[in-house]
């Protein structure tokens, strides 16, 4: 797998995943500070994420590395994921 996109399965911002959906983090976009902070919090490729709650336009609640992280919409837009189809 490469990181330059065009992978089938789609490459979309985490913010677009519906409640209950899961994905794999591909990349974190944004300034160095923000990217690094998100990575330190566990949103580093290829971490697995699951959307627990999504209340647009408010924050979303995501499960990553065994803990629940509340993420603002803006932040969730910076995290690009590949969605995993439910088995």
Partner 1 sequence: MIRAALIGNPNVGKTEIFNRLTGLSQKVGNFPGVTVEKKAGRLVHQGREIEVVDLPGTYSLTAHSVDELVARDYIVLERPEVIVDIVDGTNLERNLYLTLLLLEMDANLVVALNRWDMVKARGMEIDIEKLSELLGCPVVPTVAITGDGLEDLKDSIVDAAGQKRAKGQDAALNYGCDIERLISKVEDLIRKSPALVEKYPQRWLAIKMLEGDEMAMEQTRACLSSSQLAEILSIIEAVEAAIK
Partner 2 sequence: MSEYAENLSSALVQRRYEWIASTVDSTVKKGSGEIFTLTDMLDQVFLDKHLGIPIFLTILWTMFQFAFAVSEPFVVIIERVFEMLGAWVNQAISDPYLASFVSVGVIGGLGSVLVFVPPIFGLFLALSILEDSGYMARAAFVMDRFMYRLGLHGRSFIPLMIGFGCNVPAIMATRSMDSEKDRMITMLISPLISCSARLPVYVLIAGALFGASYAGTAVFAVYALGIVLAVVMALIFRRTLFKGEPSPFVLELPTYAVPDASSAILHMWSRGRMFLKKAGTIIFWATIIVWLLSVHPWEATSGGQVIAESYIAWIGHAIEPVFQPFGWDWMAAVALLFGLVAKEVVVGTYGILLGAEEAGLGDALVSQGLFTPLTGFAFMAFVLIYVPCVAVIGTIAKETNSWRWPAFALVYQTALAFIVTGVIIAVGRLAGLS
Binding mask 3-32 for partner 1 (x = CB under 8 A): -----------------------------x
Contact 13/74 with Cβ under 8 angstroms?
no
- Kindly tell me which residue out of 5, 9, 29, 36 binds partner 1, with binding defined by CB under 8 A: 36
Dihedral angle, C-alpha 75, 78, 80, 81, nearest 10 °: 0
Binding mask 21-60 for partner 2 (x = CB under 8 A): -----xxx---x-xxxxxxxxx-xxxx----xx-x-xxx-
Q: Which two tokens stand for residue 53?
A: 């709650």
Closest of 64, 47, 53, 65 to residue 19, by C-alpha: 53
Q: How far is the CB of 34 from partner 2 (least distance, A)?
A: 6
Q: How far is the CB of 3 from partner 2 (least distance, A)?
A: 5
């Amino acid at each position: 797998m490469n990181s330059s996109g065009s992978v089938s399965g789609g490459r979309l911002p985490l913010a677009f995943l519906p409640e209950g959906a899961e994905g794999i983090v591909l990349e974190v976009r944004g300034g160095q500070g923000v990217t690094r902070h998100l990575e330190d919090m566990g949103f580093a490729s290829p971490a697995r994420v699951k959307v627990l709650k999504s209340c647009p336009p408010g924050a979303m609640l995501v499960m990553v590395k065994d803990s629940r992280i509340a993420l603002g919409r803006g932040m969730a837009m910076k995290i690009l994921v590949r969605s995993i189809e439910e088995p």
